[in-house]
Structure 1
Amino acid sequence: MTTSRVLSIALQENDRPPLRPLPVEAAQLLHDVDAPPRLVAHLRAVHDVAGQLLEWIAARKPDLGIDPQAVLFGAATHDIGKTLHPAELSVPGAQHEEAGRELLLARGVDPARARFAGTHAAWTAEGAGMEDLLVSLADKIWKNKRIPELEDLVVARLASASGRPVWEEFLDLDGVLTRIGDQADERLAFQMSYPAAGNGRRPPGLPVDH
Structure 2
Amino acid sequence: MLPLPDRAAGLLTAVDCPPRLAAHLRAVHDVAHRLVDRLERDHPSVALDREAVLFGAATHDIGKVLHPGELTGLGSAHEEAGRGLLLDHGVAPRLARFAATHAAWTDPGVVLEDLLVSLADKVWKGRRVADLEDLVVARLAAATGRAAWEEFAALDDLVTALGEDADARLRFQASFPVRPRET
TM-score range, shorter chain: over 0.9
Question: TM-score w.r.t. structure 1 length?
Answer: 0.85
Describe the SS at the equivalent of 1:22. coil
Decide which of 31, 40, 45 is 1:63's aligned counterpart: 45
Question: Does the 8 Å contact 2:40/2:46 carry over to 1?
Answer: no
- Alignment correspondent of 1:44: 26
Question: TM-score w.r.t. structure 2 length?
Answer: 0.97
- Alignment correspondent of 1:132: 114
Provide Cα deviations, 1:68-94, integer angstroms capped at 9, x if missing partner.
Answer: 001000000000000000110111100
- Alignment correspondent of 1:179: 161
Q: Which runs of 5+ in 2 are unaligned?
A: none
Superposition RMSD in Å: 1.0
- Alignment correspondent of 2:130: 148
* 1:85 correspondence with 2:67: yes
Decide which of 50, 57, 70 is 1:75's aligned counterpart: 57
Decide which of 44, 48, 54 is 2:36's aligned counterpart: 54
Structure 2 CA distance for aligned equivalents of residues 156 and 169 of structure 1: 8
Per the TM alignment, residue 62 of structure 1 is displaced from its structure 2 partner at its CA by 4.4
Question: Does the 8 Å contact 1:64/1:130 carry over to 2?
Answer: no
- Alignment correspondent of 1:104: 86
Decide which of 153, 165, 168 is 2:147's aligned counterpart: 165
Provide Cα deviations, 1:7-50, integer angstroms capped at 9, x if missing partner.
Answer: xxxxxxxxxxxx11000100000000000000000000000000
Against the structure 1 CA distance between its residues 62 and 156, is the aligned structure 2 distance closer, same or farther, given a 3 Å change threshold?
A: farther
AA partner of residue 143 (structure 1) = K
Per the TM alignment, residue 162 of structure 1 is displaced from its structure 2 partner at its CA by 1.3
AA partner of residue 77 (structure 1) = T
Question: Does the 8 Å contact 1:36/1:199 carry over to 2?
Answer: no
AA partner of residue 91 (structure 2) = V
The higher radius of gyration belongs to 1
Per the TM alignment, residue 63 of structure 1 is displaced from its structure 2 partner at its CA by 3.2
Describe the SS at the equivalent of 2:153. helix
Against the structure 1 CA distance between its residues 85 and 191, is the aligned structure 2 distance closer, same or farther, given a 3 Å change threshold?
A: same
The count of aligned residue pairs is 182
Provide Cα deviations, 1:152-177, integer angstroms capped at 9, x if missing partner.
Answer: 00000111111111111101100000
Structure 2 CA distance for aligned equivalents of residues 161 and 104 of structure 1: 30
How many percent identity over aligned positions?
Answer: 60
AA partner of residue 114 (structure 1) = A
Structure 2 CA distance for aligned equivalents of residues 63 and 102 of structure 1: 33
AA partner of residue 6 (structure 2) = V
AA partner of residue 74 (structure 1) = G
Runs of 4+ in 1 over 6 A off after TM superposition: none
